[in-house]
Amino acid sequence: MIKRLEDLQGGTAAPKPSSRKPKEHSQRPGGVTSGQQKKIWALMYELKKRDKSPNEVPLGDRLCAVIKKELHVDAIAKNPFAWLTFSQGNTLIEVLKGYLKSLERKEAASDGIVRPCEDRNLDEDQRKMVELVGLDGLKALSGLLAALQSIFRGRELERAARDQKIREEFDGGNYRELAAKYGLTERWVRFILFGKLDNLDDDMDGQMSIYDYPEAF
């Protein structure tokens, strides 16, 4: 009777619940779990979507190649997880995630879109920099900063060597000669020798270079 009324009203009966059970992945004690397998296959399908050209190699064979390359374990497409441990399953998941991130970075570089960086090795400030200038830009800036630090460190060493020579050449009264020889003021020569600038008679005898201030570098 209900079916007849639905037909007359143009309606359809509610679909019956599917009796088909979700695919179960076989697993062994200490091996890759069913959950890990599902995650691995999901990542493999995501990688396949990013193929830039048709790839006729079956997905199972591609997974076996990844397992061989990254875990150094032989695998067969029919059961690629047969000889993997639980720990290796986790490693494989992280490897595949890394593949995806690498592809995303390449896509971002090719289409000019800067995407948020999720590299766990970077702190929050570094991630913000990557979003602004890209990972290559961050590396270039880091290299520049390292070079500047090397230059400043070299200047510190040169200044320390100069100050040591001034102390060795000081005879008790040759402030003016030492100042002229090393391009400093007499006041700064006294500072190098005695470590203080106050109560000096020749405060205005020349102009100090910015590189002579202790706070400069």
Contact status, residue 202 vs residue 186, Cβ threshold 8 Å: yes
3-state secondary structure of 85: strand
Domain that holds residue 43: 23-113
Q: Exposed, middle or buried, 144 (CB in 10 Å: 0-12/13-18/19+)?
A: exposed
DSSP E strand boundaries for 150-199: none
3-state secondary structure of 31: strand
The DSSP code for 76 is B
Query: Whole-angstrom Cα distance, residue 203 to residue 5?
Result: 109
**How many other CB atoms are there within 10 angstroms of residue 133's CB atom?**
14
Total domains in the chain come to: 2
Verify that 103 and 131 share a domain, yes or no: no
**Whose CA is closest to 156, among 80, 81, 79, 213?**
213
Q: What string of pLDDT tens digits covers the 217 residues of the chain?
A: 555 545 555 544 555 555 555 555 677 788 899 999 999 999 999 988 888 788 888 999 999 999 999 999 999 988 999 889 999 999 999 999 988 888 887 777 665 554 545 455 667 777 777 777 777 777 787 777 888 787 878 888 888 899 999 999 998 889 999 999 999 999 999 999 888 655 444 444 444 444 444 443 3
**Whose CA is closest to 163, among 135, 193, 183, 141?**
193
Verify that 35 and 73 share a domain, yes or no: yes
* pLDDT at res. 17: 52
**How many other CB atoms are there within 10 angstroms of residue 148's CB atom?**
10
Give the contacts of 179 (CB within 8 A, at least 6 positions apart): 185, 186, 188, 189, 205, 206
User: Which residue's entry shows tokens 């102390």?
Assistant: 167
* pLDDT at res. 199: 47
Query: Whole-angstrom Cα distance, residue 47 to residue 41?
Result: 10
Verify that 103 and 136 share a domain, yes or no: no
Rama region for 70: left / alpha / beta (φ>0; ψ in -120 to 50; rest)? alpha
* pLDDT at res. 109: 67
* pLDDT at res. 216: 39
Verify that 98 and 133 share a domain, yes or no: no
Domain end marker among 113, 136, 157: 113
Q: Would you say residue 151 lies in a domain?
A: yes
Q: Would you say residue 217 lies in a domain?
A: no
Domain end marker among 113, 134, 150: 113
Domain end marker among 90, 113, 136: 113
The DSSP code for 5 is H
